């Protein structure tokens, strides 16, 4: 999840200020909803299993 968060905050032009992304944790696909506060800070809004 840390890698996904770094990718989001370091490339904000690739995503909206509020968005969601699927990430893989321990072979499970999860949905991560977030808000970018600045280039170093991401606020996690929601996290849970992804309905695939």
- Count of domains for the chain: 1
Q: Using an 8 Å Cβ cutoff, are 12 and 39 in contact?
A: yes
Residue 41 phi/psi, 5-degree rounding, is -135, 130
Q: What is the pLDDT of residue 3?
A: 74
Could you give the 3-state DSSP secondary structure of residue 9? helix
Write the DSSP symbol of residue 15: S
Backbone φ and ψ of 43, nearest 5° = -100, 120
- Domain of residue 23, residue span: 2-49
Which residues in the chain show pLDDT less than 50?
none
Q: Please tell me the predicted confidence (pLDDT) of residue 35.
A: 85
pLDDT of residue 38: 78
CA distance 1 to 32: 9
């Amino acid at each position: 999840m840390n890698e996904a968060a770094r990718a989001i905050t370091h490339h904000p032009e690739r995503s909206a200020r509020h968005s969601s992304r699927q990430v893989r944790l321990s072979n499970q696909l999860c949905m991560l909803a977030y808000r970018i506060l600045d280039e170093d800070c991401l606020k996690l809004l929601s996290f849970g299993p992804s309905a695939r």
